[in-house]
A and B are shown apart, each in its own frame.
Chain A
Amino acid sequence: MTTSDQASGISTTMRDDTRGLLGKARTYGILAVILILVIFNFFRIWNTISNTATFVESGTVQQEYIRSLNQALNVNLTQVATIVIVGVGMTLVIATGGIDLSVGAIMAIAGQIAPLIFLGSIGQRFGMGVTNTLAIIVPLIVSSAVGLFNGFMVTQLRFQPIIATLVVYIGGRGIAQVLTNGYLQVFRNPGFQYLALGRPLGIPTQVYIMFAVVILADLLVRRTSFGQYVLSIGGNERAARLAGVPVNRVKTAVYVISGFLCGIAGLIVVAINSASDANLNGLNIELDAIAAVAVGGTPLSGGIATIWGTLLGALFIQLARFTLISIGVPYEFALVVNAAIILTAVYLQRQRSS
């Protein structure tokens, strides 16, 4: 019941906004930095190549250079793809004012189920085509179901999102591990592994998947009523409810979407490694995802969703990490620097919007 006309000056909450001029500045800012890092790496790799006397397979420096660039690109895109896919789900959840800590555990569960299917007896009976399809569909159904459970806890049981997804974070990975008592499942399944090792037009499959996810999610947020509902719930849930927004359904849906996307990411990881390690699959990815979301411009308090921002944020963090390691900074330092980068990025966002 405020009588003030202007925005309350006492309020300490600053909001990020990627739609106005400031938002564009921030988006271009991150792009600019990414570009700088990319160019820097171009030069660095060229330097390394031209100074090394040994040419491995082909003859010329140029071919070696291209090969190194290609390798660098692949490595980075591969690493970033899973983070972005998970990050998109995280963006939607955060936009409703929630959070999903269970993403890594869901990845592990999905990653465990696929090999169980195609390493089992189904393969003999139905042939690899059907088996591989099942090996993709079933984990996705399961991971979506876990997401549904998250949504259930948040909307029906009224758990706070951090606690609800904490439950799955703690117990979910345990379930994944229990499936094989902690042992690795190693395999060779080219059909299934096309998910990650395939190279249509020279670009890894998961990059296509990543872009598909980003584009679809962005359209969802900006063009559909569902997207509006997500934003209104995060902005003012009570108002949304009074305006007839199906709050519980939408909230549950974003957790299901997040679970589904984590399933995809989990399958990709397993496909890359030719093995499912429930102990490591998706470990700590929630940190990377949340960092990507925050750096990308989506406020953690909800009400705004910048899907492309999450992509940029993940790219930025990944590139920074890669650049540091490749110039010889030990991995451990990279962690520290990474942390500093995230802090700076988040701080700058707040500064610009004040």
Chain B
Amino acid sequence: MAVTQANSTPKQGIRGFMSANLFQNQGVLVFVVLIVVFLAGSIIFGSTFYSGYNITTMLVFNSMFAFISLGMTFVIITGGIDLSVSSVAVLTSMLAAWFSRFGLLPAIFVPVIVGTLIGLFNGWTISKLGILPFIATLVTFMAARGLALIMPKIFGIYLANLFPNVSWSWVDYVADYSIVIDRSQNFQAIIGNFLGLPIPVWLILIAYTLGAVLLQYTRFGRVTLAIGGNEEAARLMGLPVTVTKTLVYAMSGALAGLAGVILASRSGTALPTEAVGWELQAISAVVVGGTLLTGGKGSVVSTLIGVLLLGLIFNLLNFINVGGFSLTVYWQAVVRGAFLFIVVLLQSSWLRRNR
């Protein structure tokens, strides 16, 4: 019987190598840029830059973005978006601060669970009610921030008024608008070190490894990619689209919760005005890493590279202090914007040449 043969449009050589599963084409490029920037920084600013202190501080600071960006990667791969992550993070940071008086474990579990629940709510409105992810997570974004703002009042005033007979010693820890951590219960151990590396760094490694395995080697991960590629087809193929979408948002919420825990333990006080703009940071990192905003294609590893690159650049910006000219916060914003612009520009021209 005659046989049909077909060649796909082959990509030879370097391009073929870079079509490998784990990295995307753009991911490798970004990785190269990361190395270059790091080397440049080390040469220009010397040992203050590549010192263990600077690097670990930078890593711990960026661990929060790293977790959020991981969740955002999965969400974006399904073709959605999660704008609520910053509000969830700040809300869970306040919960973490309040629960810190009960010990390390509650201070970690309660926020993460709450984050997961909020994520489940997002997933529900999006997959069951059919509301666009942008609107659905925008709504949660507003609601969670509102809850965070009111949390000190809830704990400090309302609960105390409701149960006046019980001794509420924690009222001391709650100001009008913030919640202070109870240091006596070892909560800040979470940003301590373990075998030389800060715990958050370990957590990033674990989370991203799990994430990469999840995406590449489990049905859940493949369904996620299928949904982003062609949701209607995925549905018709009989794939568990609704469940998977819901779980993806739940994951994002859980990771935002974890970010909130780290946020609380870094500062001594949890403020509801923190974490502004984090969702955009995460989206930037995901895009810089090379994941398509339209969904269906993405990589966990490249997001991590994106996070590191962004973190590195802004770490570097803090070093710029030549003859009194330092970059104010405002200029940093301009640089941030310009950087995103350049990255996307390069990405789209790269994409166009590859097609």
Contact = CB atoms under 8 A, between A and B. Distances in A.
B181 interface: no
A166 B332 contact: no
Contacts of B140: 339
Contacts, number: 132
Interface stretch (B5-13, B18-26, B128-136): B128-136
Interface string A138-174: 0000000000000001000111101100111111111
B129 A174 contact: no
Contacts of B57: none
A347 B293 CA distance: 25
A89 to B, nearest CB: 18
A350 B131 contact: yes
A96 to B, nearest CB: 16
A10 B135 CA distance: 23
B135 A294 contact: yes
B330 interface: yes
B134 A168 contact: no
A170 B332 CA distance: 10
Interface stretch (A42-50, A113-121, A177-185): A177-185
A163 B340 contact: yes
Interface string B112-150: 000000000000010001111011101111110111011
A166 B150 contact: no
Given A300-B132, A332-B149, A347-B131, A170 B333 contact: yes
B146 A158 contact: no
Nearest to B142: A339
A172 B131 contact: no
Contact of B280 (A166, A174, A338): A166
Contact of B145 (A175, A182, A300, A335): A335
A173 B333 contact: yes
Interface of A is mostly: helix
Contacts of A12: 130, 231-232, 235
Contact of B138 (A159, A162, A171, A291): A291
Interface in A302-354: 330-336, 338-340, 342-343, 346-347, 350
B131 A346 contact: yes
B124 to A, nearest CB: 11
B344 interface: yes
B230 to A, nearest CB: 13
A273 interface: no
Interface string A10-27: 111010000000000000
A220 to B, nearest CB: 25
A159 B232 contact: no
A10 B333 contact: no
Contacts of B236: 10
Contacts of A346: 131, 135
A171 B143 contact: no
Contact of A166 (B142, B153, B328, B340): B340
Nearest to B146: A335
B280 A163 contact: no
Interface in A267-304: 287, 290-291, 294, 300-301
Nearest to B336: A170
B287 interface: yes
Contacts of B235: 10, 12
A237 B332 CA distance: 37
Interface of B: 125, 129-132, 134-136, 138-143, 145-147, 149-150, 153, 231-232, 235-236, 280, 283-284, 287, 293-294, 328-338, 340-341, 344-345, 348, 352
Nearest 10 A/B pairs, CB to CB: A171-B337, A174-B333, A335-B146, A332-B150, A339-B143, A177-B330, A332-B149, A170-B337, A174-B334, A339-B142
Given A159-B345, A181-B328, A343-B131, 6 more contacts: A10-B232, A163-B287, A163-B340, A178-B334, A342-B139, A343-B136
23 contacts: A12-B231, A158-B348, A167-B341, A169-B280, A170-B280, A170-B336, A171-B333, A171-B341, A174-B333, A175-B334, A178-B328, A178-B334, A287-B138, A300-B134, A332-B149, A335-B143, A336-B142, A338-B146, A339-B146, A342-B142, A343-B131, A343-B135, A347-B129
